[in-house]
Structure 1
Amino acid sequence: MTKPTPKFSLPELPGERFFGPGLAVLLFLLLWEAAARLYANEYLLPGPYLVLLGLVEVWGSGLLPEHIVVSLFRFGVAYLLAVLLAVPLGLILGWFTRLHRALDPLIQLLRPISPVAWFPLAVLWFRIGDLPAIFIIFIASFFPILLSTIAAVRSVDPTYIKVALNFGSSQASLLCKVVIPAAFPYIAVGLHIALGVGWIHLVAGEMLGAQSGLGYFILDARNFLRTDLVIVGMLLVGALGLLLDRLMAAAEKKVRRRWGITG
């Protein structure tokens, strides 16, 4: 029997954690500036400096912070609703095999429908405002969380369940103290996927059924041929998505530490 090869890694240099990402961002800015100069049309492809001036302009007016707050509010409400509904439903369907077998055709029928296809109905049902965007984000986030939770429960090692039953655990205790902690790493994967998918569809929802938010800001800037502000909105969407993902990862680490989950 061969012994596993030990992993070898060089010691981390001082500032290495920030040097690599900083270098990547600098390279991106240089390539962007070079592309803008080659294109030679600052109205269609403004460089980083012009975009920075646009950011200062709209931030000073107070409009951009309002759009950011509105977008975060819509996303927070929709994503929280998706988690509160999809996780318990996924636990139930993953635990009760017959119920999952009965509902799976319906789930598989609705799941492939793109959230974009719901736009016309969302506007007809909820009119213009917060609700169409919230509905679209909810639809986009719900199914990744649901399916990952079902798969996570069904992949729990049966040995854990047998041991808990041998010690006289009730169904409720078994689910809360054994199944959920064991399934959490896989549920967390679904939460991360839903976060990204929901955030992407936030912008699409605000472009169609709202008069505020980052999606509306980008669309409005395009209507006035302010491509610098279009890029400002795009970069803010990316930056806020990165921030939300990091916050999710930090919360996941705390839960893992509390339950003693490694890896």
Structure 2
Amino acid sequence: MEKWLLPLVAVAVLLAVWHYSVLMTGTRVFPSPLSVWRGILELLHKHVLWADISDSLRRVVIGFAAATVVGVPLGLCLGWFPSLHQVVNPVLELLRPISPIAWIPVSIIFFGIGDPAAIFLIFLGSVFPIVVAAASGVSSVPPLFRRAGRNFGLTNAQLLRRVIFPAALPQILIGLRISLGIAWLVVVAAEMIAVDSGLGYLVIDSRNSGKRYDLVVAAMLIIGIIGLVLDSVFRLVERIRSVRWGFRHAA
């Protein structure tokens, strides 16, 4: 009961503080919770909210999936071959700290205004944490595991699939979860500049079209709620997959 009650109380307190802060300051710029709720209903009535949510989620899914397909195998290879990691790591550490937002002009030059530019930015923001997590997960597997696998006559491919990857899986999942959060952050920023739809575009368009700050805050809240849902779903999938993987290999 407390698991659900305490968060609901925290949300209620936040809404109360928000409401009375707007009331006491008398501001006409920052909207009240009721104004934001009316803004959400207006967006639903105009049939634009679900389309923007769908566009943002579609870009995140494509960019995150591409980052996973590239990042996990690359990280496994870097962790499996220390000499290769030594060669590639300086390049990774040079590119990794660069904010995906800094790549916006480059993405527009290469891809123009549209989905490819936003997806490219999501890919860049997501791929590096996945590569680092996968490489770190493989390199942190105790050497005893490898020796035991070789003693049982496993080939390199079998050793990687049946021993190394399961041992590194928890760290890989952590990297995927972090990357998903980054992807959701990046898509909002990219949509403010590189595309003309999505929740990020809704924020900037509401600001520019009559300074509708009620719609701006409504879009911000929806972005936060979807981010929370994505993280919760991923944590649930992470627990389910870990349990199933453990049972499969225990058998």
Q: TM-score normalised by the shorter chain: which range applies?
A: over 0.9
| Residues 1:248 and 2:234 are matched in the alignment | yes
Of 82, 98, 116, the match for 2:67: 82
**Residue 254 of structure 1: CA displacement?**
1.5
Residue ranges of structure 2 left out of the alignment (5+ in a row): none
**Residue 192 of structure 1: CA displacement?**
1.3
The amino acid of 2:112's aligned partner reads: R
**What is aligned with 1:11?**
none
**What is aligned with 1:152?**
137
Of 31, 36, 39, the match for 2:25: 39
**What is aligned with 2:2?**
16
RMSD: 1.2
TM-score by length of 1: 0.92
**What is aligned with 2:95?**
110
Q: String of CA shifts for 1:228-249, please: whole Å, max 9, x gaps.
A: 0000110011011111111111
Of 134, 146, 155, the match for 1:170: 155
The amino acid of 2:182's aligned partner reads: V
**Whole-Å separation in 2 of the counterparts to 1:254 and 1:178:** 19
**Whole-Å separation in 2 of the counterparts to 1:209 and 1:107:** 25
Q: String of CA shifts for 1:179-211, please: whole Å, max 9, x gaps.
A: 111001111111111111111111100001000
TM-score by length of 2: 0.96
**Residue 67 of structure 1: CA displacement?**
0.3
**What is aligned with 2:79?**
94
Q: String of CA shifts for 1:209-260, please: whole Å, max 9, x gaps.
A: 0000000000000012000000011001101111111111111112111122
Task: Give me the identity figure in percent.
Answer: 41
The amino acid of 2:230's aligned partner reads: L
**Residue 160 of structure 1: CA displacement?**
1.2
**Residue 38 of structure 1: CA displacement?**
2.3
Question: For this pair of structures, how many residues does the alignment match?
Answer: 247
**What is aligned with 2:221?**
235
Q: String of CA shifts for 1:37-61, please: whole Å, max 9, x gaps.
A: 123123x111101100110011111
**Whole-Å separation in 2 of the counterparts to 1:32 and 1:154:** 48
**What is aligned with 2:164?**
179
**Whole-Å separation in 1 of the counterparts to 2:12 and 2:82:** 52
**Residue 18 of structure 1: CA displacement?**
1.1
Runs of 4+ in 1 over 2 A off after TM superposition: none
Please tell me whether the aligned partners of residues 39 and 45 of structure 1 are also in contact (alpha carbons under 8 angstroms): no
The amino acid of 1:198's aligned partner reads: A
The amino acid of 1:193's aligned partner reads: I
Q: String of CA shifts for 1:61-111, please: whole Å, max 9, x gaps.
A: 101110000000000000000001000000011101111111111111111
| Residues 1:189 and 2:174 are matched in the alignment | yes
* SS of aligned partner of 1:156: coil
